Amino acid sequence: MSVRIGVNPIGWSNDDLRELGGGTPLEVCLREAMEAGFAGVELGHKFPREAGALRAALAPFGLACVSGWYSSALLERDAAAELAALRGHLDLLKAMGSDVLVFAETSNAIHGDRHRPLSARPVLPPERWAEFGRRLTAVAEATAREGVTLVYHHHMGTVVQSETDIDALMAHTGEAVHLLLDTGHATWGGADPARLAARYRGRIAHVHAKDVRRAVMERADAGDWSFLHGVVEGVFTVPGDGMIDYASVFGALAGYSGWVVQEAEQDPAKANPLTYAKLGRANLARFLAGAGLRVTA
């Protein structure tokens, strides 16, 4: 049982607000990820989407392809249609040896709109959870048959944001649906990530590690900011640089094996990506060791 520490390129080039780090070449991100000591990287919008080209891009830096985000529309289409839409992304992950698929429902989501407050995010009525859960389970069972575990990413500005949403998701889906525990989104969404880790330990198959600056989060909540306004103002930072008790989070994940991915989106003009990447990587290694989780390259 071991943990590998990866990184998401969003600290260098933001996917939802592409003006943040828009001029940063992919090669800079990959070189600095290697320099900071990460074993792998998740995909972003600057990465090649063909397996041969992607391997060629990653190979000089010795980085594995961890996974990649997929935006689903299961509230608007059935599982068969979703699987058809997912096909190219799933095939790329399989070709790259990735064994997890980062999956999030984005029908009517507002996380990519800088001008819409989080109070306007979509909320799923109670009577719709059962059908959503059935569709999601069917997709997860299909990807599992191909050797890829679906990990659901709860996210600010989407239908799965709060602790109540996460509980409903887990209650209405089968065992093939695993949870991606995102410490930063959990915290900003009002949940205790350590409590979530303990409650769903058996179904957590991927971790995104970011920290939250309490003062910025409190201003964001008081002012009903948009998700992206919070990002620009610095609500997120790397593990160990904010309010989250990572000793408790990783303590609740005893026996976890898989990737822990640093994913801390900030404005790279304000927060030097390499400086923060090194800080977060060192803190993660320390927190994981303290919890008895063995890190391998």
**182-198 per-position pLDDT tens digit:** 999 999 999 999 999 99
**116 touches 110 (CB < 8 A):** yes
Tokens 């801390």: give the residue: 264
Q: Is the pLDDT of residue 1 over 80?
A: no
Per the structure, the complete domain to which residue 217 belongs is given by 3-290
- Half-sphere exposure at residue 108, Cβ-oriented, CA atoms within 13 angstroms: 10
Confidence band for 174, pLDDT divided at 50, 70 and 90: very high
Nearest Cα to Cα of residue 3 among 290, 238, 240: 290
Nearest Cα to Cα of residue 10 among 262, 212, 211: 262
Gap between the Cα atoms of 98 and 137, Å rounded? 20
The pLDDT tens digits for 23-82 are 999 999 999 999 999 999 999 999 999 999 999 999 999 999 999 999 999 999 999 999
The pLDDT tens digits for 220-233 are 999 999 999 999 99
* Encoded tokens for 16: 């939802």
- Please state the domain count of the chain: 1
Tell me, what's the pLDDT at 280? 98
Tell me, what's the pLDDT at 191? 98
Collect all residues with Cβ–Cβ distance below 8 Å to 88 and sequence separation of at least 6. 49
Average pLDDT in the 199-204 region? 98
Gap between the Cα atoms of 159 and 104, Å rounded? 9
* Encoded tokens for 147: 């050797």
Specify if 21 maps to a domain.
yes
* Encoded tokens for 19: 């003006």
Name the percent of the chain lying above pLDDT 70.
100
Confidence band for 297, pLDDT divided at 50, 70 and 90: confident
- Compute the C-alpha angle 257/260/266, nearest 5°: 170
The pLDDT tens digits for 108-147 are 999 999 999 999 999 999 999 999 999 999 999 999 999 9
Tell me, what's the pLDDT at 112? 96
The one-letter amino acid code at 52 reads G
pTM equals: 0.97
The one-letter amino acid code at 148 reads V
Transcribe 192-238 into DSSP letters: -HHHHHHHTGGGEEEEEE-EE-HHHHHHHHHHT--HHHHHHHT-EE-
* DSSP annotation of 257: -
Specify if 18 maps to a domain.
yes
Q: What is the CATH number of the domain that holds 155?
A: 3.20.20.150
